[in-house]
Amino acid sequence: MQYKQCLKEVEQILQIEKSFDIVKRKLLVQNTELSFLFVDGMIKDDVMERIMEHLLLKGKISKDIQMFADENLAYVEVSVEHDIGNMVTGVLSGACLLLVEGCEDAVLLDVRTYPVRSMQEPEDERVLRGSRDGFVETLIFNTALIRRRIRDSHLRMEYHSVGETSKTDVVLCYMENKADKNILKNMQMQLDNLKVQALTMTQESIVEALVPHTWWNPFPKVRYTERPDTAASNILEGKILLLVDTSPSAMILPTSFFDFVQEPQDYYLPPVTGNYLRFLRILVFFASLCITPLWFHFITNPQLTPSFLNFILLKETPHVPILLQLLLMEIGIDILKTASLNTPNALNNSFSLIGALVLGDFAVQAGWLNAQVILYMAFAAMANFTQASYELGYALKFLRIMLLLFIALIPKIGILIGIVFVLLVMANCKTITKTSYFYPLFPFHPKALKKLFVREKIRSQK
């Protein structure tokens, strides 16, 4: 396509006169017109200045676009583009489009730069020892952090564009000699065929497309991490990492339930300490699920309460039914969480004081809540924070509420029916490989289960 026609079509699509930040810059070099099109604020100004200075000093301009690029553009990332759609997408992605009079097609210079925050340790995955860097919102920086940790020729960074409007950059990161070929092929096909307008705030759209999911099952099918060391270790184990531009969270696939009980902290401490923390995390997980339902079961059926637990029974009849108190506390804790996210930092201390007084002392004095309800719900809330996965914490909450409802409806055997219900929900979960979400517990595989619960010494690992 000739210069004038190509420039006209690109300008018509971009509607330059209606967007102040899309810049067209013309240069005249030896009676040859050159046109640069780019988005202001998304290119490296100093690099563009040097390229333009170099072109102005040239004595002769080649009429072959490939030869022109080879002779005049001493820059790393330069490509000749023939398709108008790709030219427009390149400009909107931050590249600079260069059209040369007398030449067919155009050149794309990848001189893009994005506003980026400094790399810092993720707030939700802190460790006492270990690296303090974390993923940021710029995709190329995140891939570099992984490359720095895995210097192997089998590491692949496979690019995909997702979103009919946003055209978001998505990268599949995996070890070619370790990743499951069937899973990889399925993910590639799903990404290429994903019909979604944009991924600006809908990263969950990718999860819904890749992972078989039932809306009523609350367990997370994907594990997220913002730590490059965690991401790299999972890649080396044969898992596939999915990175999305503008998101600091990397998705790890496939994921089973027991992947959530492992944390980076376990591997930065001696094996005995790491195993203790992992066991404690698993214990707290089940305690968080069962503590309020068990207490509610015993106070509903005092004749079934063991004698050594008689102290947990209520001494007087509460003004508000215990079930309603527990449900109000579940909702109240979520209200506090939501409010804390929207509270300015300067008011955090005041908010904490108000929340403690309203849900604590004042609620007990007013007769709305029993002190024991606050105690057990406080433990359940703290236990939720021991899980790094926000989604898993809510899965526990929903199942805990279901157990409470079963006990309220069928007092004597409600807890047994509720436990069966929880087990059925767990058994119904499937990973992206269509295997059990709770492997190696269901089906039982002792060696694999031991590896999950007991951290081996590095020299004994294969």
| Average pLDDT per block of 10 residues along the chain, 462 residues long | 89 92 92 93 89 84 88 86 93 94 91 84 85 91 95 95 88 95 90 83 74 74 92 94 93 88 84 86 89 94 90 87 93 84 71 66 81 89 82 91 95 92 83 79 77 66 52
Beta-strand relationship, 106-109 and 168-175: unpaired
Q: In what order do the strands lie in the sheet with 106-109?
A: 22-29, 32-39, 96-100, 106-109, 78-81
CA distance 292 to 397: 11
- Name the region of 274 (left: φ>0; alpha: ψ -120 to 50; beta: rest): alpha
**Res 252: pLDDT:** 94
Question: Rounded to two decimals, what is the model's pTM?
Answer: 0.85
The single-letter code of the amino acid at 323 is L
**Res 139: pLDDT:** 92
CA distance 327 to 263: 31
Instruction: Collapse the DSSP code of 354 into the 3-class scheme (helix H, G, I; strand E, B; otherwise coil) and give the result.
Output: helix
Q: Which two tokens stand for residue 390?
A: 């926000």
- Name the region of 152 (left: φ>0; alpha: ψ -120 to 50; beta: rest): beta
CA distance 145 to 243: 12
Question: CB neighbours (10 Å) of residue 292?
Answer: 23
Q: Nearest 5°: CA angle at 18, between 13 and 20?
A: 110
DSSP H/E element including 428: helix 414-428
**Res 19: pLDDT:** 92
Residue (of 428, 422, 423) closest to 399 by Cα position = 422
Q: In what order do the strands lie in the sheet with 223-225?
A: 155-162, 168-175, 240-244, 250-253, 223-225
- Name the region of 15 (left: φ>0; alpha: ψ -120 to 50; beta: rest): left
Do 194 and 209 contact (CB within 8 A), yes or no? yes
